[in-house]
Structure 1
Amino acid sequence: MDLRDLHYFEVIAELEHMGRASERLHRTQPALTSSIRRLEQDCGVRLFEKSGRGIRLTEAGQVLLKWARRTRLDVHDAQQEINHLAHGLAGTVRVGIVPTAAQFLLPPAMRQLIREAPEVNLHTVVGLIDVLRSLLHSGEVDMTIGTEGMAEPGFTSEFLAEDPIVVVANASHEIFQGAPTIKDLGAYRWVLQSEGAPTRDWLDQTFERHHLPRPRVQVESNTLLMLPTLIAETGLLSFISRRHLLPGQPSFALKEVNVPETVMQRRMVVTYREGGYLSPASRRLIELLASAAVVNE
């Protein structure tokens, strides 16, 4: 099989439309049709079938897509490993990273990596873990740094740091006048992530387990980095990483509301393809991220 044909096949499978694939790949539709015919001859089966105005993969096509992606990633890994034999700590590291890790772990780790290897380039995508996991599966990033989830076949994770999520308020909030309980938290309004975010769902379920109404949310935001400022400027409670309360952080006006039932124990991990190639620069970055986590705890 020709690697170029496999690349065209991947794009056609993604778009499920020969015309749109032609526009993206800058190839004529007859050229793409010929490419698919060559693959079908090699496989001895149909790879696509008509579906409305477009096309979709047959069962055999789905199998080939899995192996086409794996082949592309293996070829990329081979090129990277050969290149790094000559250049050592150099090249581009592609990282998908959640906001908390991007704010607290990445800057000190990258500062040290640049000192050791000034030729290293870093390409980062900051987002929620579900989005980052998809990028890792497609090979658009080399690794993800985020919260630990269910183990997935074909991927491996290394522990970086504990990252407890706690209830937080402005340090001058009236809730600190006494010894609040989880029931007392229900008297106040909150700023939280939208429903479906892991931390939001965990907090909602915790209140329900204690037979209490869910927190009353006045402000919802998926931009995690703005939550500390919102908490500091309002009387709203929130649920964020304890790392925001560490000495030297700009969120010094915040304080943890000490309610043990509402502490979510979360682990930060780095995840990459099992058996995939990680460059020396990627490996060194993982080591530095782990070191940064220890310093910040």
Structure 2
Amino acid sequence: MTGKHSPAKPNSPTRARQVREAMNEALPPWGVLVLESHHAPDFSMQWRTHRFLKVVYFLSGAGTFCCNKQELNFQGGDVFVVAPNDRNRICDGEGTPSSLYVGCICQSILSAEPTTAENIASSKLVGGTRQSNFVASTLRRMIYTQDLAASSRGVDMMIDAWRLIRGVTAYDSTDASQAVATESTTAEDQLSDAEIVERYIRELQTSFLEATTIDAAANQLNLSRRTFTHLFREQTGTTWLRRVRELGIEHAKRLLQETDLPIASVAFESGFADISTFYRRFTSMVGQSPAAYRQRSTCR
């Protein structure tokens, strides 16, 4: 991805600080959209039907997800798939309004691979924490891409849409990691180890949300852990983990300054799995809490 980072403003149609009814799901020309929604205590949603695939990740809250004749309980961390043309609605529990991210993928993308499309059914994913984390990570990257003013935004969104489809239909994190490693190997055959790491460091500026472990990063580049860590420190003056955390915190600072997103959403979109870890890391690296940083930034 290239292009100047341009976070969505508070009044963006893809983001809503607090809503009393379901948001409009109008897809862009490339057919992929990620919505972020935070429900007010009196949120109410009527039944709706849409012609696109919908993947819903609940960041927090609890209640009932209704789809056709199914009524399934949800809580933070749960993922639901809604197939095209299936009736659906969200009913928050009393005192537990939900916050969620919704990935919408148009029929034309699905029709490119009919066999996969035929296997998509409305359901609650039962793949456990690893599958839920995969979906959360993919949606996080998609909304980051969506916010970029880059000419490749549509293409990048479609690529991630297929990753998301694969993640909710036949998830295998081992195969996914191997595929990424295989894709990168051919292009890197002609580069020295130092050049490979140098390019990785440049790309990390926009791909830090995909970073998982140092071993995964080394494997992706087809380098030993020892070689990767040595070259990374030599070129950056810091460790891989420290650099990934710094990039996440820098992104969080931009979101706190330029949007009115809830801090829980800022944490999620900056790559943190839980808000307590985010608070701890942000305070340690910035010297004040996220709330205090936002307040100081708005007072300038």
State the TM bucket, normalised to the shorter chain: under 0.3
TM-score (norm 2): 0.23
Structure showing greater relative contact order (alpha-carbon pairs closer than 8 Å, 6 or more residues apart): 1
More strand by share: 1
TM-score (norm 1): 0.23
